[in-house]
Chain A
Amino acid sequence: MSVKLTASALAIAAVAATSAAARDQVQVAGSSTVLPYASIVAEAFGENFDFPTPVVESGGSSAGLKRFCQGVGTEHTDVANASRKIRDKEIKACAENGVTDIIEVRIGYDGIVFASQLDGPDYSAFTQSDIFNALAPKVMVDGKLVDNPHKKWSDFNADLPAEDILAFIPGTKHGTREVFEEKVVAAGCEATGAFEAMMAAGMSEDDAEDACLEVMSDGRAVDIDGDYTETLASIDANANGIGVFGLAFYENNTDKLKVATMAGVEPSTETISTGEYPVSRPLFFYVKKAHIGVIPGLKEYAEFFVADEIAGPDGPLAEYGLVSDPALVETQDAVAAEKTMGGDS
């Protein structure tokens, strides 16, 4: 008994002693939206350089940035992937832990599309107003702001099928939800005139803005906290449902899904990069400058990520569904110069 215990204690001590040794691969953590792109880059990086393949963890922008901000040293991650910009509070928390020099890299844009079952009802064209009319708790009917009376899509837009409203939207944990609310629901709110009506009814501007983002919780809008695969499975099980997906996910699943246009524009990497298609968001990764030159391959990884042959319009990332950043050259220069946020060192 005691022999076993001491042996295991020894094993742990031995392991703890050796673990202080330097790490030789780049460690990345963060958003699961960026993960596909990061994994493609990491794999190609491993193939083309003598450095080991970087490790890319998922777990959300929140957890990724939290780990990133925990401190400087080999036990902390080098790069954080995020599907949103780092927030001021997070920058402050970073600084408190000694992480002061952060390089922000925008890798491109992620399009967000509305799609439904391939053989399901004919959802082919939406506008922001349609989505707002379907899902918002208060909508405009005949010029008056009333509690949402709509049950079917055809109730407010005769071009849409007479199907029960059912939408699978990203849960409140997702960065996608923010884009969905601000670029679709809020835009619909303004377009239908509900925003003005709210203001006219005596709401303050802030309150009206918040009210514009609200989505009904009576079961017609189903939050999906998981990934797009979960949304896809929900669509599979409900023929009348529409789902919110990333462009890349949709393009990989065209055999099950059909996409709807938004405000008359078909989503594609081209329409999104020109800004015609309205619903998209930028994707980022953040590099800890203190680790450059220490963790082998870190700078090379960052440069490789934004290189033309990777992140350019014909590179593997665009092929997979990332909308290439028109200002990629500036990003490349910034990475090469190790330009940090807020500073210019």
Chain B
Amino acid sequence: MTDASLPTDGAKPQSGSLTTLDARTKKRNAAEKRFRAYGVAAIATGITFLFVLLFAILTSGLGAFQQTFLTVPVYLDEAKLDKKGNRNIDDIKKVSTFGYNPLIQKAVLAEVQKAGIETPLTKSKEMKALISASAAGQVRAAVIENPALIGQTVEFKFLASSRVDGYLKDRVKREHLARDKNIDAEHLDIVDGLLEAGVVAKTFNPAFIFGADASESRAEQAGIGVSMLGSLFMMFVVLFLALPLGVAASIYLEEFAPKNRLTDLIEVNISNLAAVPSIVFGILGLAVFIQFMHLPQSAPLVGGLVLTLMTLPTIIISTRASLKSVPPSIRDAALGVGASKMQSVFHHVLPLAAPGILTGTIIGLAQALGETAPLLLIGMVGYIASNAPDGIASGLLDPNSAMPAQIYEWAKRADPAYYERAWGGIIILLIFLISMNTLAVILRRRFERRW
């Protein structure tokens, strides 16, 4: 090299060594670090939001899994329950739950006096505030099932009223009782006493997970089990319809469709349907499935069909993305060894795209599982989930609710005990969601590949 290649005077010499960084490289490296930090920050923000949400949900909802019970021996008075004394089931049935209430209240009062609690409440009627309204139904059902119990003293485990339960869960505070006409401070003194005597106990309540919905006045009895079944049947419908339909449509659009007006029309339609508010699908479901096809109202089948139409675009869009990500070389190779276009797609492209399709399907199902608005219009919100279905046909066709609809309904109800149950329901819903996601992650991990 000659002198001419040397830097001229005044200009900084190019850095001679690769190990010392010049300003520009430093700047570039700093930009690199910054960029990376943005990414970390973004993920951290997202996950922080998640944990804040989860924390809020858990603190508000865990209480719903426990419930307060009273264990009380009840004397089933023949004079009240079977006046004729001939154990005729029809006569016994004539005594309504209102006839059972006095017996139960008397039994509770006896228990209170046995425990030696000093209280100004000495009438059995005043014990009403302590026990759930479901107690009478519980005793009546037991008596009807076994009329021989009449005349005996039988021990029952009753639900405590939602106020008593709330007191043990710190939701009902003594200082707020002055205007509460449902329960008085004296009642809470009794509860304290019974708690010591072991008559009242707070235990895990499986009925919340497996039970049916209850009316407004019996928050303590409500469970999410029946609506869980409703959701389950709806998800079956969605999975069995949306997945095959969505995959078939995606394959056509991505692999076969000629570029013409019809294809354009379908594409625009699909991306547009993804944007249509879910409530509009509710209007569609009401008009088409219920009013036109005469499918029964409030049926999980109809809910499933509506949710299928709603999730279809989501599944199609993500399936197409994952079909697109399979490199053309795979198709070319298959075609090269003599496969038809159809065979190359079904035997090679589709299996390779399966993990992506799975991701999309899960997001779609999750979306469907948590959707409330369309169900509102096809009659799945209200006091619906009161009877568990007894079989597949009944599961699909009998009126039922769905988990999010049930949660929405509970969140609206007046008794604050329902508020806790709504959050508890959300916990269960999330458990489903997280297990679905975990399954998908495991599947995706095993099959994900990078081209």
Contacts and interface: CB of A to CB of B under 8 A. Distances in A.
A50 B291 CA distance: 30
Nearest to B137: A47
A16 B382 CA distance: 25
Interface stretch (A131-139, A153-161, A178-186, A246-254): A246-254
A1 B244 contact: yes
Interface string B287-325: 000110111111101000000000000000000000000
Nearest to B140: A47
Nearest to A53: B386
A255 B415 CA distance: 11
Contacts of B137: 44, 47
Interface in B124-174: 133, 136-137, 140-141, 171-173
A251 B297 contact: no
A46 B221 CA distance: 15
Interface string A1-40: 1001100100100011011100101010100100111111
B446 interface: no
B71 interface: no
B382 A58 contact: yes
Nearest to B141: A47
A63 B97 CA distance: 33
B295 A19 contact: yes
A316 B137 CA distance: 14
Contacts of B259: none
B372 to A, nearest CB: 12
Contact of B397 (A18, A53, A55): A18
Contact of A309 (B98, B182, B240, B297): B98
A59 B376 contact: yes
Interface in B82-125: 93, 96-98
A40 B97 contact: no
Contacts of A40: 215-217
Interface stretch (B331-339, B356-364, B406-414): B406-414
A301 interface: no
Contacts, number: 151
Interface residues of A, number: 61
A190 interface: no
Interface string A89-121: 000000000000000000000000000001000
Interface in A46-97: 46-48, 50, 52-53, 55-59, 63, 67, 70, 75, 77
A55 B399 contact: yes
Q: Looking at A15, A27, A52, which has the most chain B CB atoms within 10 Å of its CB?
A: A15
A121 B377 CA distance: 40
Contact of B97 (A36, A47, A56, A75): A47
A43 interface: yes
B386 A255 contact: no
B133 A53 contact: no
Interface residues of B, number: 58
Contacts of A319: 217
A225 interface: no
Contact of A253 (B299, B377, B386, B414): B414
A23 B296 contact: yes
A126 interface: no
Interface centre among B217, B244, B393 (most CB of A within 10 A): B217
A130 to B, nearest CB: 22
Given A5-B244, A19-B296, A57-B298, A29 B379 contact: yes
Nearest to B299: A19
Given A4-B244, A5-B244, A63-B377, A35 B383 contact: yes
Contact of A227 (B98, B215, B377, B412): B412
Interface in A249-273: 249, 251-256, 258-259
Given A70-B291, A252-B416, A316 B397 contact: no
A183 B409 CA distance: 29
A320 B171 CA distance: 19
Nearest to A56: B383
A46 B141 CA distance: 11
A252 B383 contact: no
A252 B244 contact: no
A328 interface: no
Contact of B379 (A5, A23, A57, A309): A57
A42 interface: yes
Q: Which of A20, A46, A53 has the most CB of B within 10 A?
A: A53
A255 B384 contact: no
A238 interface: no
Contacts of B399: 25, 27, 55
A58 B296 contact: no
Contacts of A251: 180-182
B377 A42 contact: no
Nearest to B219: A252
Interface in B188-220: 214-218
A59 B180 contact: no
A228 interface: yes
Interface in A210-246: 226-229, 246
Q: Which of A38, A55, A59 has the most CB of B within 10 A?
A: A55
A19 B216 contact: no
B54 interface: no
A57 B408 CA distance: 13
Contact of B293 (A1, A5, A16, A321): A16
A249 B217 CA distance: 11
A15 B393 contact: yes
A55 B387 CA distance: 9
Given A1-B244, A19-B296, A43 B414 contact: no
B179 interface: yes
The 9 closest A-B pairs by CB, nearest first: A39-B383, A255-B176, A36-B216, A57-B382, A39-B215, A47-B137, A43-B215, A252-B414, A56-B383
Given A43-B218, A228-B414, 4 more contacts: A27-B399, A44-B137, A46-B386, A63-B377
11 contacts: A23-B296, A29-B382, A32-B412, A36-B217, A42-B383, A44-B137, A50-B93, A55-B383, A57-B382, A252-B182, A255-B180
